[in-house]
């Protein structure tokens, strides 16, 4: 009897243990599958703020703007990062809000684009439009496919005011005055940049705001930019200055080597603007055909920011004049927003055209700070400190030239077309040989599992059907009706080269070790 009792006790203990294990197992399954909707979210879903931002159509003074940007950053930490590029003459921060998915990660080949407002303190419309653009990008992220694509695949830097001191002294309702145009020192910031055609004296002292922008551009490889002004209604493109200014000549066309893409970018803005493309005439200002102009053809100026961006940093910048009245009453701001919203969004999308890729050595390792240009175009840009490069170009056949003091000059032909899954965007890498290396094969193999694939590589093993380059939503150029709803027609069987971007993000973790030495 004692034996039987012990056997029953042991049997009961084992059964209890099995039941307990089964119970824990079932709880674990329920837990993993996300039975609690209040705790777990579907994969890739992002929790939205409980009280989304709502911004009034009014002018925001510096303190209000600062508080607003901090509030937005707190509410959308998964999509924004707030930073200052420096101080104004009076010590006010020059705040920039970065908008992108995973803002604290620098995803390879993710291009940087920027909008700058209020360079002239009394030209105030652009300042407020950028605040409302921030609001729109964040609120529409989950509901608008084009906005989601922009935010997921672009690093959008927005500087609402680069001249906060000037704005604080400007007067609302003054359409033609100069109160607040300059900074606190009375200097015109759009005449204060280095200029290839009009060099400044060696002892020249740049303004704090200008120095902050120069430092900013040295740190971040911007691809595309726009500078928002007021006093006219036109999209202006470089050059603003000319190599030689004849006596008594105030305007003369001064095209860049990239005049074709600059005209396209200006037209993209003008034609997506509700009235700019209709060539309206502001009082005292000439009429601009199609709402665009070469800067120097309008009037010649030295020390401008758009020429500086292009010549010194390879960044393509437009100057957007958005209102006939420089500082209209705030009751008109909603009208300006409605006129400009589609154009601001369309121009951001243009950073996703042209060519991008890596400069690499024979082993597929990235080479930073390589001098690049398109053959036949005397305009230079550089690869980033991670070996990435970007260039906005129209469809066509081009040859990329790479130059570096420690490597042989290298050339690579590529084609941009509208037929790929990525639209008018081509991915290509350019390999460079060290000066003491004898090149024997231009179609380099994939060197190792940790290297970037180089020219001639078979990309098939790295391309899968979940490539993010399928079905990229894009606004149709010159078609304002379909700006936010158009989807590019795609073909999943397109050549592998056009799908390189689809696996770039999957290479990031594998490649991270190579980039630690490049900062």
CA distances to 20, 22, 25, 41, 44 from 30, rounded to whole Å, are 15, 12, 9, 14, 20
Q: Are 238 and 262 in contact (CB under 8 A)?
A: yes
In DSSP notation, 93-136 reads EEEEEEESSSTTS--TT--EEEEEE-SSTT--HHHHHHHHHHHH
Identify whether the C-beta of residue 512 lies closer than 8 Å to the C-beta of residue 476.
no
Side-chain half-sphere CA neighbours of 86 within 13 A:
16
Q: Annotated catalytic, 209?
A: no
With 0-12 / 13-18 / 19 or more C-beta atoms within 10 angstroms meaning exposed / middle / buried, residue 452 is buried
Which token pair is 126?
């652009």
At residue 514, the 3 state secondary structure works out as helix
The Cα–Cα gap between 431 and 412 comes to 8
In degrees rounded to 5, what are phi and psi of residue 398?
Answer: -135, 160
Residue 213 to residue 219: CA distance in whole angstroms: 10
Distances (CA, A) of 5 to 10, 14, 15, 18: 9, 14, 15, 20
Q: Which of 128, 209, 321, 350 is flagged as catalytic? A: 321
- Separation of alpha carbons 416 and 115, rounded Å: 26
The backbone torsions φ and ψ at residue 245, rounded to the nearest 5 degrees and listed phi first, read: -100, 110
Q: Give the contacts of 366 (CB within 8 A, at least 6 positions apart).
A: 358, 359, 360, 383, 386, 387, 388, 452, 514, 515, 518
Q: Residue ranges of the alpha helices (H) in 87-240? A: 125-139, 145-153, 164-169, 208-219
Region label for 312, one of left (φ > 0), alpha (ψ between -120 and 50) or beta (otherwise): alpha
Ramachandran assignment for 118, one of left (phi > 0), alpha (psi -120 to 50 degrees), beta (any other): left
333, with CB counted inside 10 A (0-12, 13-18, 19+), is buried
Q: Per DSSP, what are the bridge partners of residue 112?
A: 155, 222
Task: Give Cβ neighbours of residue 286 (< 8 Å, ≥ 6 apart).
Answer: 298
> Are 135 and 69 contacting, i.e. CB atoms less than 8 angstroms apart?
no
Which residue numbers are catalytic?
321
């Amino acid at each position: 009897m004692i034996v039987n009792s012990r056997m029953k006790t042991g049997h009961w203990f084992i059964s209890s243990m099995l039941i307990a294990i089964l119970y824990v197992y079932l709880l674990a399954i329920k837990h993993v599958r996300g039975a609690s909707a209040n705790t777990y979210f579907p994969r890739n879903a992002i929790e939205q703020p409980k009280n989304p931002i709502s911004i009034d159509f009014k002018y925001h003074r510096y303190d209000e703007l600062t508080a607003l940007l901090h509030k937005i950053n707190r509410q959308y930490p998964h999509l924004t990062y707030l930073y200052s590029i420096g101080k104004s003459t009076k010590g006010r921060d020059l705040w920039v809000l970065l908008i992108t998915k995973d803002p604290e990660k620098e995803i390879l080949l993710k291009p940087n684009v920027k909008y700058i407002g209020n360079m002239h303190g009394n030209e105030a419309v652009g300042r407020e439009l950028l605040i409302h653009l921030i609001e729109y990008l964040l609120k529409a992220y989950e509901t608008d496919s084009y906005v989601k694509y922009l935010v997921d695949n672009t690093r959008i830097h927005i500087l609402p005011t680069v001249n906060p001191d000037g704005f604080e002294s400007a007067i609302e309702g003054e359409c033609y005055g100069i109160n607040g145009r300059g900074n606190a020192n009375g200097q015109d910031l759009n005449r204060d940049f280095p200029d290839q055609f009009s060099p400044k004296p060696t002892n020249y002292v740049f303004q704090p705001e200008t120095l902050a922008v120069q430092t900013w551009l040295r740190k971040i490889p911007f691809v595309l930019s726009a500078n928002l002004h007021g006093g006219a209604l036109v999209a202006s493109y470089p050059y603003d200055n000319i190599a030689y200014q004849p006596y008594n000549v105030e305007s003369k066309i001064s095209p860049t080597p990239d005049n074709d893409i600059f005209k396209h970018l200006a037209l993209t803005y003008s034609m997506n603007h509700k009235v700019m493309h209709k060539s309206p005439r502001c009082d005292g200002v000439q009429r601009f055909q199609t709402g665009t102009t070469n800067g120097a053809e309008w009037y010649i100026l030295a020390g401008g920011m758009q020429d500086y961006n292009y010549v010194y940093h390879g960044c393509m910048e437009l100057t957007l004049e958005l209102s006939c009245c420089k500082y209209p009453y705030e009751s008109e701001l909603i009208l300006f927003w409605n006129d400009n919203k589609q154009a601001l969004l369309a121009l951001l999308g243009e950073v996703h055209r042209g060519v991008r890729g890596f400069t690499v050595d024979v082993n597929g390792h990235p080479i930073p700070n390589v001098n690049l240009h398109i053959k036949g175009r005397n305009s230079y840009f550089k690869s980033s400190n991670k070996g990435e490069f970007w260039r906005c170009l129209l469809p066509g056949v081009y040859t990329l030239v790479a130059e570096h003091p420690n490597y042989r000059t290298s050339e690579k032909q590529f084609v941009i077309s509208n037929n790929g899954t990525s639209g008018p965007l081509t991915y290509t890498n350019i390999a460079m040989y060290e000066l003491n290396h004898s090149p024997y094969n231009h179609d380099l193999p994939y060197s190792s599992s940790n290297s970037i694939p180089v020219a001639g590589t078979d990309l098939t093993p790295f391309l899968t059907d979940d490539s993010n380059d399928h079905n990229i939503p894009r606004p149709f150029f010159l078609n304002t009706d379909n700006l936010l709803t158009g989807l590019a027609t795609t073909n999943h069987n397109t050549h592998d080269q056009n799908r390189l971007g689809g696996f770039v993000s999957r290479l990031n973790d594998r490649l991270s070790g190579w980039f630690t030495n490049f900062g």
